[in-house]
Amino acid sequence: MKKNYFVISLLILSFGFSQQILKPKYHFGIKLLTKYEYQIIEMYDTYKENLIEIIIQEFDSVGNNINTKIFKTDESLEIIDDKIFDSKGKIVQSENYNLENLINYSSINRYNAEKKYIETLVYDINGKMIFKRFKKFDADKDMVELIHENSIEKLKYDSNGNIVEEIIYHDNKFLNRYSYDNKYDNKDRLVERVRYKNVNRYGEQQRIPIAKIKIKITEF
């Protein structure tokens, strides 16, 4: 169980960096987002970018992300993530499964009578609930906190609704701080993101690049 829980947690976290790309209003007119995700490796006084996966997100005509496929670097399909929406366009269920149609995990979002988000329940391959996630949103409907077991992620956004800072706490203790540089096209749509880990090196704070996403936009 611990091994499965760890793998599921990694799958969810790997989605985190690439999923929060555009606020819903920027999805209109977009058919596909193809994201090339790179790991950045520090090598003495330079950095090397290694492609680690390709993510293709499909959207419907009203801007809902209905399907996500993750490919290996050789472009072979590895993981599929499907979402189910209610009449208000809110995600009510998500299933993440592999090529053998075995579910890695599934999640269900719960809302109150006013359709305000309450929590997310995450289930393993056998349908057993393994943990809950809670999200807090600001007035602009940006998620500002993600509470997961003993961890809390605090998020800050730019005017386009993309993450610029992420602070992680575990057991109420500071764990890591990440920052992001975002590049946009002439329609204010994200086309590149670099993730930095903020570290103390040689007595001063430095931003070390650790990951990058390059995004290709396909319109209807």
pTM: 0.84
**Residue scoring higher pLDDT (10 or 188):** 188
pLDDT computed for residue 10 by the predictor: 44
Q: Which of 24, 20, 34 is nearest to 195 (CA)?
A: 20
- Element at 38 (helix H, strand E): strand 30-43
Strand partners, 109: 120
Nearest Cα residue to 26 out of 161, 135, 156, 141: 161
Average pLDDT over residues 1-27: 50
Cβ 52 vs Cβ 87: under 8 Å: no
Tokens 């396909």 sit on residue: 218
Beta strands in 143-189 (DSSP E): 143-148, 151-157, 163-170, 173-184
Is residue 17 pLDDT above 90, yes or no?
Answer: no
Residues 6+ apart with CB under 8 A from 164: 156, 157, 158, 179, 180, 182
Per-residue confidence (pLDDT) for residue 48, from 0 to 100:
96
Neighbours of 65 (CB within 10 A): 21
CA atoms within 13 A on the CB side of 12: 22
**Nearest residue to 42 via CA among 220, 199, 205, 215:** 199
In tens, the pLDDT along 33-54 reads 999 999 999 998 899 999 999 9
At 11 the pLDDT is: 47
Residue 114 has which token pair? 């006013």
pLDDT (0 to 100) of residue 201: 86
Kindly report, residue by residue over 137-181, the tens digit of the pLDDT.
Answer: 888 778 899 898 789 999 999 888 889 999 999 999 999 999 999
pLDDT at 7: 46
CATH numbers and ranges of domains, the chain: 2-219 (2.40.160)
Average pLDDT of the chain?
85
